[in-house]
Amino acid sequence: QVQPVESGGGLVQAGDSLRLSCAAPGYTFSNYAVGWFRQAPGKEHDLVATISKSGDSTYYADSVKGRFTISRDSAKNTVYLQMNSLKSGDTAVYYCAADDRDYYTGRHYSYWGQGTQVTVSS
């Protein structure tokens, strides 16, 4: 089964930018819809952004719209989440997930990464 692997998390100050990467070694990532989720302490995970197989369709949660951008780089077989103007409320464990659907804005993704911590200080 495809196993997404996230990287790029860390500790940053409010207003800074950070780019998360998601890769799936041994698989063609363009065969999957890919979503980014986040889970803050004591809360359930929420969908942050998703991108279709083709990259033609994207979705963003209202809380990040205008600040975050999801994208694909087929040559690198990688999906990115560019996070700008970070706020303390963005602090969470961020998960990359893949699904066999062409495009999916729900929570029931099939394949999940291990997560990467993003901490935004005030």
> Is 41 a residue whose pLDDT tops 90?
no
Give percent above pLDDT 70 in the chain. Answer: 100
Cβ atoms of residues 39 and 92 within 8 Å:
yes
Pairing mode, strands 92-99 and 78-83 = unpaired
- pLDDT-based confidence at residue 23 (cuts at 50, 70, 90): very high
pLDDT tens per residue, range 62-103: 999 999 999 999 999 999 999 999 999 999 999 999 999 999
Q: What is the 3-state secondary structure (H, E, C) of 18-81?
A: EEEEEECCCCCHHHCEEEEEEECCCCCCEEEEEECCCCCCEEECCCCCCCEEEEEEHHHCEEEE
Q: Is 88 helix (H, G, I), strand (E, B) or coil?
A: helix
Non-local CB neighbours of 25 within 8 Å, separated by 6+ positions: 3, 5
Cβ–Cβ under 8 Å, residues 70 and 77: no
